[in-house]
């Protein structure tokens, strides 16, 4: 069999976690990623025999039999490139998603991220909107996090502020940004709430905590978060200053027409 560390999905996961840490989005063991894999591709690298089985603590029958590459609980993104088999794991959901078979990784006895419920529930929600969705990514970008302390958390208002900060924002995330008030992390409750928000947007801000992003691949999802974070940075640079110019709704309608996107219904005048 081929060396799994050479698999394109593994190379990209290692590259992405390293890049996210370098951006300052994933301090210490903050943040987590789950990537839905193609079983036929995985079989080129693994014999698919489970090492052991883990309880998931929730049910997700829609994902039964699906295989995910996920970051581990308590693991540091900065270490993934040096010891991927310790910091990453590949699991297959079984028994209606109530259990997960470990197929590879977590060689130090670790297990998947504590945010696994939120990830899997978000995958279910996004796959109903777009069957091509394969990635859920959670991290702690400083500017978006800071923005939740000083900006109204109303989703329309929050989204419009971000759209007005960079010309590309409405093009990159025309579905806007959804927002959850502070909730206890690592619970099924926040997983259910996040998944509900994922039904209408690929970006969900957790107030005073971070952000969840979803997409078709690691690049797209990283880019979504990166664009929103840049907009939040600009907002924080100018929020205390008198505003003399902005991107108007009329101009955003021009961007819709030029780039073939449609802003979230009711968010533009």
The token pair at 123 is: 């995958």
Residue 221, CA atoms < 13 Å, CB-side half-sphere: 30
Q: How many CB atoms lie within 10 A of CB 232?
A: 26
CATH top class, domain 147-261: alpha beta
What is the pLDDT at residue 186? 86
Phi, psi of 167 (to 5 degrees): -55, -35
In the chain, residues under CATH classification 3.40.225.10 are: 1-114, 147-261
Active site residue 115: yes
pTM of the model: 0.95
What is the pLDDT at residue 167? 97
Q: Which of 124, 114, 102, 110 is nearest to 46 (CA)?
A: 102
Q: Is 124 left (phi over 0), alpha (psi -120 to 50) or beta?
A: alpha
pLDDT tens for the chain, residues 1 to 269: 899 999 999 999 999 999 999 999 999 999 999 999 999 999 999 999 999 999 998 899 999 999 999 999 999 999 999 999 999 999 999 999 999 999 999 999 998 999 999 999 999 999 999 999 999 999 999 999 999 999 999 999 999 999 999 999 999 999 999 999 999 998 889 999 999 999 999 999 999 999 999 999 999 999 999 999 999 999 999 999 999 999 999 999 999 999 999 999 999 99
Assigned CATH topology for domain 1-114: L-fuculose-1-phosphate Aldolase (3.40.225)
What is the pLDDT at residue 1? 83
- Neighbouring residues of 5: CB distance < 8 A, sequence distance ≥ 6: 11, 84
What is the pLDDT at residue 25? 97
Eight-class DSSP state of 264 = P
Residue 107, CA atoms < 13 Å, CB-side half-sphere: 7
What is the pLDDT at residue 109? 93
Taking CA atoms, 36 is separated from 10, 30, 151, 195, 239, in Å, by 12, 21, 34, 16, 39
What is the pLDDT at residue 24? 97
- Neighbouring residues of 40: CB distance < 8 A, sequence distance ≥ 6: none
- Neighbouring residues of 63: CB distance < 8 A, sequence distance ≥ 6: 93, 97, 120, 123, 124
The token pair at 203 is: 């970006």
**Residue of 115, 155, 220, 229 marked active site:** 115
**Helices and strands in the chain, H and E counts:** 10, 9
């Amino acid at each position: 069999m081929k060396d799994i560390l050479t698999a394109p999905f593994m190379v990209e996961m290692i590259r992405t976690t390293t890049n996210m840490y370098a951006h300052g989005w994933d301090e210490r063991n903050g943040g987590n990623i789950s990537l839905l894999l193609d079983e036929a591709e995985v079989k080129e690298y693994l014999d698919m025999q489970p090492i052991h089985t883990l309880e998931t603590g929730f049910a997700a029958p829609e994902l039964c039999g699906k295989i995910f590459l996920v970051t581990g609980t308590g693991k540091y993104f900065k270490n993934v490139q040096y010891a991927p088999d310790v910091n990453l794991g590949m699991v297959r959901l079984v028994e209606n998603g109530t259990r997960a078979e470990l197929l590879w990784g977590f060689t130090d006895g670790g297990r998947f991220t504590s945010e696994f419920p939120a990830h899997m529930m978000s995958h279910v929600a996004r796959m109903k909107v777009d069957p091509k969705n394969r990635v859920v990514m959670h991290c702690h970008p400083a500017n978006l996090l800071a923005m939740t302390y000083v900006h109204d958390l109303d989703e329309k208002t929050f989204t419009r502020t971000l759209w007005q900060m960079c010309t590309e924002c409405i093009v990159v995330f025309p579905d806007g940004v959804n927002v959850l008030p502070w909730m206890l992390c690592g619970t099924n409750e926040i997983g259910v709430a996040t998944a509900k928000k994922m039904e209408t947007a690929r970006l969900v801000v957790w107030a005073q905590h971070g952000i969840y992003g979803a997409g078709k691949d690691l690049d797209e999802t990283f880019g979504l978060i990166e664009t929103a974070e840049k907009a939040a940075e600009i907002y924080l640079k100018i929020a205390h200053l008198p505003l003399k110019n902005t991107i108007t709704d009329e101009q955003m309608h021009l961007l819709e027409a030029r780039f073939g996107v449609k802003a979230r219904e009711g968010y533009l005048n």
